[in-house]
């Protein structure tokens, strides 16, 4: 295990260095930037700002400066917000984390339960309805589902607030604050859960169908074990093993998968900050966010490999 971790950490560092070079090059070579696109600035002022922020220096020199700052915990300065990138991350990322953790938890719980029942009752009316729902959830765009729910639940029936994290002008504290946040996050969580349940349920259903055909499941039934124990003690445990691979991809998806949802529901998270920065070409913040997602992806992949080995010792690292 020690040799494996050393080898993987070495690869991880090389992958992140390559990713940082690619990310920086893509943003640096994209035509236009925050200063060029600002029509309020005179040509002289634009030249001054480009000199101030080092945008007129060679590409390699700018990359080395950016990496040197990153190694010291500084991912640059947002040109639009006029704050350090990490400060902005700290302000917005926890809101995204809250939204993503709740929706991910609900997605996995619902997908496992529906997937197991659909596999056990394969080709029944329940399985047919599940498959129709899966393909519907995977086919309809997220913005359409979001706008539809806003129209029905927020505008017509007035059950839930249409967006934001708190009611405008609210000074709620304590449990009143918690209730307001829960009410405002309900709609985006519903949309994110619906989007995730479709593909995950299909994945669990397929794994479960393969597992319940195995000989050891027939042996368990031949011993006289109850069907519930056969399914949830013997079959489900082995059906969930391949899903550990998905855990690694869930980590970056916590922050990268809600870009459009946060925009639709005006949720003050890192996704909405990214979209705002994208419209004004605030490249330092965009590069910092993209690099953050790259780091999470590499860490998530490493964690999934280690967890898979821990769950199934037959897998050699």
Q: What is the CATH number of the domain that holds 178?
A: 1.10.3720.10
> Stretch 74-95: mean pLDDT, rounded?
88
> Stretch 250-270: mean pLDDT, rounded?
80
* Cα–Cα distances in angstroms (integers) from residue 265 to residues 11, 189, 191, 193, 262, in the given order: 39, 10, 10, 15, 5
pLDDT at 76 (0 to 100): 83
Total Cβ atoms within 10 A of residue 307: 15
The residue whose two tokens read 């950490």 is 9
The helix-helix angle for 85-120 and 270-280 (nearest 10°) equals 120
Query: Residues 6 or more apart from 301 whose CB is under 8 A from it?
Result: 248, 249
In contact, 306 and 102? CB cutoff 8 Å: no
In contact, 241 and 162? CB cutoff 8 Å: no
Tens digit of pLDDT for each residue in 136-152? 877 888 888 888 999 99
In contact, 193 and 110? CB cutoff 8 Å: yes
The helix-helix angle for 174-211 and 142-149 (nearest 10°) equals 140
- Number of independent structural domains in the chain: 1
Residue 257 scores a pLDDT above 80: no
Domain membership flag for residue 108:
yes
Residues of the chain with pLDDT > 70, as a percent, come to: 96
Domain membership flag for residue 102:
yes
Reported pTM: 0.82
Domain membership flag for residue 13:
no
In contact, 235 and 211? CB cutoff 8 Å: yes
Domain membership flag for residue 288:
no
In contact, 303 and 245? CB cutoff 8 Å: no
Adjacent-strand bridge partners of 77 = 84
Tens digit of pLDDT for each residue in 199-214? 888 888 888 888 888 8
Total Cβ atoms within 10 A of residue 226: 11
Q: What angle do CA 58, 60, 64 make, to 5 degrees?
A: 120
pLDDT at 317 (0 to 100): 58
Q: Band the pLDDT of 110: cuts 50, 70, 90.
A: very high
* Cα–Cα distances in angstroms (integers) from residue 132 to residues 86, 120, 192, 214, in the given order: 43, 17, 18, 27
Domain membership flag for residue 158:
yes
Q: What is the 3-state secondary structure of 199-224?
A: HHHHHHHHHHHHHCCCHHHHHHHHCC
Domain membership flag for residue 47:
no
Distance CA 290, CA 300 (A): 15
The mean pLDDT of the chain is 84
Domain membership flag for residue 136:
yes
pLDDT at 18 (0 to 100): 92
Domain membership flag for residue 208:
yes
Distance CA 293, CA 304 (A): 16
Residue ranges making up the domain that contains 146: 93-277
Report which of 285, 302, 299 is spatially closest to residue 23, judged by C-alpha positions.
Answer: 285
Residue 91 scores a pLDDT above 80: yes
Residues of the chain with pLDDT > 90, as a percent, come to: 11
């Amino acid at each position: 295990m020690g040799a494996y971790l050393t080898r993987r950490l070495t690869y991880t560092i090389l992958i992140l260095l390559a990713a940082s070079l690619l990310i920086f090059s893509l943003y640096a070579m994209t035509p236009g930037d925050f200063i060029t696109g600002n029509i309020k600035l005179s040509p002289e002022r634009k030249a001054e700002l480009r000199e101030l922020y080092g945008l007129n220096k060679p590409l390699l020199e700018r990359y080395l400066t950016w990496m040197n700052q990153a190694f010291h915990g500084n991912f640059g300065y947002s040109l639009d917000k006029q704050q350090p990138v990490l400060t902005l991350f700290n302000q917005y990322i926890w809101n995204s984390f809250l939204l993503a953790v709740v929706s991910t938890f609900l997605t996995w719980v619902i997908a496992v339960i529906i997937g197991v029942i659909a596999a056990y009752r394969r080709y029944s009316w329940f399985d047919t309805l599940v498959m129709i729902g899966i393909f519907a959830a995977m086919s309809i765009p997220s913005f359409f589902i979001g706008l539809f729910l806003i129209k029905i639940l927020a505008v017509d029936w007035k059950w839930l607030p249409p967006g934001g994290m708190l009611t405008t002008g609210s000074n709620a504290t304590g449990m009143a604050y918690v209730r307001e946040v829960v009410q405002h996050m309900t709609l985006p969580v519903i949309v994110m859960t619906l989007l995730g349940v479709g593909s995950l349920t299909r994945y669990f259903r397929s794994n479960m169908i393969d597992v319940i055909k195995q000989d050891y499941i027939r042996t368990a039934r031949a011993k006289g074990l109850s069907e519930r124990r056969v399914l949830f003690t013997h079959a489900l445990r082995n059906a969930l093993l391949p899903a550990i691979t998905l855990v690694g991809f869930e980590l970056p998806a916590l922050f990268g998968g809600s870009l459009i949802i946060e925009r639709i529901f005006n949720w003050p998270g890192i996704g909405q900050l990214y979209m705002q920065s994208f419209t004004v070409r605030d490249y330092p913040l965009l590069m910092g966010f993209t690099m953050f997602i790259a780091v999470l992806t590499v860490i998530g992949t490493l964690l999934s490999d280690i967890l898979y080995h821990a769950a199934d010792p037959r897998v050699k690292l």
